[in-house]
Amino acid sequence: MATTKQRQAARRNVKKAQKAAKSKKTIAHMPKKTRTALGKQGAAVAQRKRTGGSSPKTKAELMKIAQKRDLEGRSKMGRDELAKALGEK
C-alpha cells in the first residue's frame, strides 16, 4: 500500500503529464525530472507484474518478515526499500 506522500507525488506527476498533454507537449519536451519519475513509476509497476505470486507484494507482508528478522530501520523504509533489504527483489 502506498504512503500518503507517495500518493501525493503520483498525483502531482499525473497532473504534470496532463498539463503537458494539454499544451501539446510530448514526453520528450517534459522536464527531465518529470520524465524520470514517470519512467521509474512505470518500470516499478511492470516489475511487480512480472514477479511471480510467490514473493510478498504488500508492504505489510514485507514488514512482518522484517520484524521476524529484526531488521533495523524498517519502520522508516518504503515498500521497495524493504524488499531490497530482505532480498525479495
Instruction: Give the pLDDT confidence score for residue 34 in this predicted structure.
Output: 85
pLDDT at residue 50 in the model = 78
pLDDT digits (tens, 9 = 90+) for 12-56: 988 888 887 777 657 777 888 888 888 887 887 777 777 755 565
Q: What pLDDT shows up at residue 66? A: 92
pLDDT of residue 67: 93
φ, ψ at 39 (rounded to 5°)? -65, -40
Q: What is the pLDDT of residue 12?
A: 92
CB-neighbour burial class of residue 8 (10 A; exposed 0-12, middle 13-18, buried 19+): exposed
* Nearest-10 crossing angle of helices 4-22, 32-50: 120
The backbone torsions φ and ψ at residue 5, rounded to the nearest 5 degrees and listed phi first, read -65, -40
Give the mean model confidence (pLDDT) for residues 67-75. 91
Nearest to 43 by CA among 87, 9, 80: 80
